[in-house]
Amino acid sequence: MKLITIRHGLTPSNQAGILQGQRVDDKLSPEGHQQAERLAQEIGEKSESVAAIYSSPLRRTKETAEYVSKVLGLPIIEKEEIKERDFGTLSGKTWSEIPENKDNQLKQKDKAFVYDYRPFGGESVSQVRQRLQSFLEFVRQKHEAENIICVTHGGILRLLYDELRQTQPKELPPGSVHIFNI
């Protein structure tokens, strides 16, 4: 199975360095719409057979997925399991606005997959990993030898690289495509 994974297009919060998670549900910025349109056209030009388009239910991913859906003529299937991690009450803030992020400790824990946002009303890495594993098991069973598209978020994408034991690129910019052979 080929898992064609797309990080949603740029949002105003991405541009401002704001933690979005699940609670800040921005629309795409004008540049984000351009990114989504461009990547949808690129995917369409590759003319690979795609069985399904899965998307996080958050606005920024659904808007990105709509471009791909129009090009491929496939419906979007929303999956809660691939929505971004919940930062709890830290949502809507930048890393520098968070008093608990002294010496970038929270940010470093986030990047090292040892975060726990439960004290802030959010999720731990194990909770997010469990959601992602559930999604991967679902698509493995449903799409054993097919190509599928997954429109998701940076945090989920980073965890996917880790879960599939793939070397993560230095950057995972909004509007980027990442392909995994499973």
Picking from 3, 12, 4, 64, the residue whose alpha carbon sits closest to that of residue 38 is: 64
User: Which runs of consecutive H residues, i.e. helices, occur in the chain?
Assistant: 12-16, 30-46, 59-72, 105-111, 125-142, 154-163
The DSSP annotation for 15-60 comes to: HHTB--TTT--PPPPHHHHHHHHHHHHHHHHHT----EEEE-SSHH
Known catalytic residue at 84: yes
Select from 10, 21, 149, 147 the least CA-distant residue to 77: 149
Q: Which of 63, 81, 84, 123 is catalytic?
A: 84
Q: How far is CA 62 from the centre of its chain?
A: 11
- CA contacts within 13 A on the Cβ side of 109: 15
Residues classed as catalytic? 8, 84
